[in-house]
Structure 1
């Protein structure tokens, strides 16, 4: 039976903690963050997963703008395509599920998303962080040496904070006792119409990137950086997701590509902007990361029922996953993804929600 605890409540913000069930003999909690405008973000400690983001449209109506599932069993089951989850220890792909680090070769349990049981399938520890102007929940997880084949005891914290400017800030920090590759991201699926359109092909997207990573079979990157000009991957000016998607479907069934962002400084900068015409909702993505994967929901299937029993649909949502480049551990020319003892990994991504009248 679910129980709830109100941890902080005032006119500006609130946090509510609710037990929604058990997995592997441990309690799973959902944290509901709400700001003074009424925007809500819900996060569970299974997979450090965003389950809900509720924002207003141009008429002031509040709806969720991310895909979700109806039950904890669904989140832990085959239906879950990393929906809203924190992905690691290394998000995206590692070729042949092997890498060599400091003259030692490591073999992983899988070539994608951190292994067979990556961070998205782990139970994290949650800690509410009430505040006067923003509210947050801190998720932490100790990934033990050898887990999924990776070296080092890695302590990861991910903090989800909601402020009164309708910004969701995601801060990542990690330390390790052995050198290890590390690429973290969040895998939320966005549909800014709030249910008014079951496709995102009309969403207008701008990506602040002049280059993208060439990919081969299975979307594995080759190491070559290409220019977006005169390709379907040119989002340097606002363009609907659907405008050129048929060209991409000839060889990948839609967009699943890593963009090389203009900002390579490690400082927070604007990476993308999305505008949904029916609702007027606009989302800006800021990140300290050098890359971003744009995925157009190509493999979403009507066999899976999402929130409120509504089936998913192909191209029914999109992902903007800020991260270091795929397979970086095997491509020396890519930005370094190795975290070493004595160093602290730090990264931030901000999703800002606006409304165009």
Structure 2
């Protein structure tokens, strides 16, 4: 056990409607940072961090009760899989065989679902993982049966959480399969560095270490076209810090951002983004081994959602920095980094959320 990390404590978070018990694991480190996670959907329920005056606030969007997470249509704080993000038309080809997935998503309001998203009707965000404490880490495991939500192979996934005394929330993912399949995992945490119930992102300042982004289609605005575009001279240029209030309405179609940024090769741990909030002095850094990071600013898919402590979450009240492979990779498998996993191979991914204060 490392003295440089907080030791988690387990308690009960309640029971699902079918009677199964859900466990919560709470980390408290030496710098007054507290993080709680539950083994239903591997959800991060709370992230409490101090501001420049020492005031501690929860900066993570979410719910108070397991009854709400049992639905969780916005995937608040959860793991998404087997494949996060969109697969256009719910179809993909692997080794010359076509697979069909449930259609659960459309780019337009009041339109019948046309695409698959976030692993299906009952994706990983709605699964109860087995869980245990191992030294200063929490490990959560789920075995997805062959054919679940249309995906081939029995997939065994382990998600690991750790909070260090350097204020690093470390998430590690590993997976193995019994048949060739596709895997793309992320955590869907929503942040507001002012406080979880603050109504907007305007005073947040974002920097993304990306020279390119994956272009979305004009006629289906959440679906990649397959082309990589240079960020220069576009609303997607976050290479220098940008105040979000000055950029959100410049986003495509005035609906904010639902776009993947290209970070480079998968494997090495690299800095993906820095999110600052000057009024509170809080800073969030994102590091990852993934080749992409999806920027999501709430758009119009969080309409008047009631959350924890009586908060009401509205569009553009929070930001997601989802480290992952590119969206709709199976459709563009010759252009995008592969998400294919085969028997005998080991999928591994690591993301670090580091909390600190903006240097003076």
Residue number among 251, 260, 263 corresponding to 2:262 in the alignment: 260
Classify 1:76/1:203 alpha carbon distance in 2 versus 1 (closer, same or farther; 3 Å). Answer: same
Residue number among 39, 50, 53 corresponding to 1:56 in the alignment: 50
1:201 equivalent in alignment to 2:202: yes
1:94 equivalent in alignment to 2:97: no
| Contact 2:85-2:327 within 8 A present in 1 as well | yes
Q: State the shift of 1:253 in Å.
A: 1.0
Q: What is the alpha-carbon distance in structure 2 between the residues aligned to residue 58 and residue 195 of structure 1?
A: 17
1:222 equivalent in alignment to 2:216: no
Q: State the shift of 1:45 in Å.
A: 0.8
| Contact 2:5-2:162 within 8 A present in 1 as well | no
| Contact 2:4-2:166 within 8 A present in 1 as well | no
Q: What is the alpha-carbon distance in structure 1 between the residues aligned to residue 159 and residue 56 of structure 2?
A: 26
SS at match of 2:117: coil
Q: State the shift of 1:80 in Å.
A: 4.0
1:152 equivalent in alignment to 2:157: no
Q: What is the alpha-carbon distance in structure 2 between the residues aligned to residue 11 and residue 353 of structure 1?
A: 15
Task: Tell me the alpha carbon deviations over residues 106-143 of structure 1, each in whole angstroms, 9 at most, x when there is no partner.
Answer: 1011311100110001111111123xxxx321111001
Q: What is the alpha-carbon distance in structure 1 between the residues aligned to residue 289 and residue 5 of structure 2?
A: 28
Output aligned runs, 1:325-340, within 5 Å.
325-331=326-332, 332-340=334-342
Q: Where does residue 281 of structure 1 map in the other structure? A: 282
Q: State the shift of 1:60 in Å.
A: 1.1
SS at match of 1:13: coil
Q: Where does residue 238 of structure 1 map in the other structure? A: 241
Classify 1:95/1:288 alpha carbon distance in 2 versus 1 (closer, same or farther; 3 Å). Answer: same
Q: What is the alpha-carbon distance in structure 2 between the residues aligned to residue 247 and residue 303 of structure 1?
A: 23
Q: What is the alpha-carbon distance in structure 1 between the residues aligned to residue 251 and residue 279 of structure 2?
A: 25
Q: What is the alpha-carbon distance in structure 2 between the residues aligned to residue 35 and residue 80 of structure 1?
A: 31
Segments of structure 2 that go 5 or more residues without pairing to the other structure are: 104-115
Q: Where does residue 3 of structure 1 map in the other structure? A: none
Segments of structure 1 that go 5 or more residues without pairing to the other structure are: 1-7
Q: Where does residue 351 of structure 2 map in the other structure? A: 349
Q: Where does residue 312 of structure 2 map in the other structure? A: 311
Q: State the shift of 1:324 in Å.
A: 0.2
SS at match of 1:32: strand
| Contact 2:74-2:302 within 8 A present in 1 as well | no
SS at match of 1:73: helix
Q: What is the alpha-carbon distance in structure 2 between the residues aligned to residue 169 and residue 32 of structure 1?
A: 14
| Contact 1:198-1:316 within 8 A present in 2 as well | yes
Q: What is the alpha-carbon distance in structure 2 between the residues aligned to residue 231 and residue 12 of structure 1?
A: 41
Residue number among 118, 123, 128 corresponding to 1:113 in the alignment: 118
| Contact 1:172-1:347 within 8 A present in 2 as well | yes
Classify 1:153/1:301 alpha carbon distance in 2 versus 1 (closer, same or farther; 3 Å). Answer: closer
Q: What is the alpha-carbon distance in structure 1 between the residues aligned to residue 56 and residue 140 of structure 2?
A: 26
Classify 1:57/1:17 alpha carbon distance in 2 versus 1 (closer, same or farther; 3 Å). Answer: same
1:122 equivalent in alignment to 2:127: yes
Q: How many residues are matched?
A: 342
SS at match of 1:51: strand
Q: CA RMSD in A?
A: 1.7
TM-score (norm 2): 0.91
1:39 equivalent in alignment to 2:44: no
| Contact 1:126-1:139 within 8 A present in 2 as well | yes
Q: Where does residue 5 of structure 1 map in the other structure? A: none
Q: What is the alpha-carbon distance in structure 2 between the residues aligned to residue 94 and residue 299 of structure 1?
A: 20
SS at match of 1:308: helix
